[in-house]
Amino acid sequence: MSSAKNQGDAHDKAVLKPITDEAILKVTKEIIVKFIECGRLSPANFDETFEQVYKKVVSTVKS
């Protein structure tokens, strides 16, 4: 029973932890890398796509 409580406490602390700009950039980078690997992103539209993904990640984590 106390193990479940400890897991809940750890989850609560993780939820309250602020999201850093570095973490947002890392997530955005990983998404962009997946797009490149799948062939859905080319150098011609990299800037536009990166900006769109970054803004979406920011709006998601800050909402």
Q: pLDDT (tens digit, 9 = 90+) per residue, 21-58?
A: 999 999 999 999 999 999 999 888 999 999 999 999 99
Domain boundary assignment for the chain: 18-61
Q: In this structure, are residues 3 and 45 in contact, taking their beta carbons and an 8 Å threshold?
A: no
15 confidence band (pLDDT: 50, 70, 90): low
Contact 28, 50 (CB under 8 A): yes
**pTM greater than the 0.75 cutoff:** no
Higher pLDDT, 32 or 3: 32
What number is the average pLDDT over the span 10-31?
A: 84
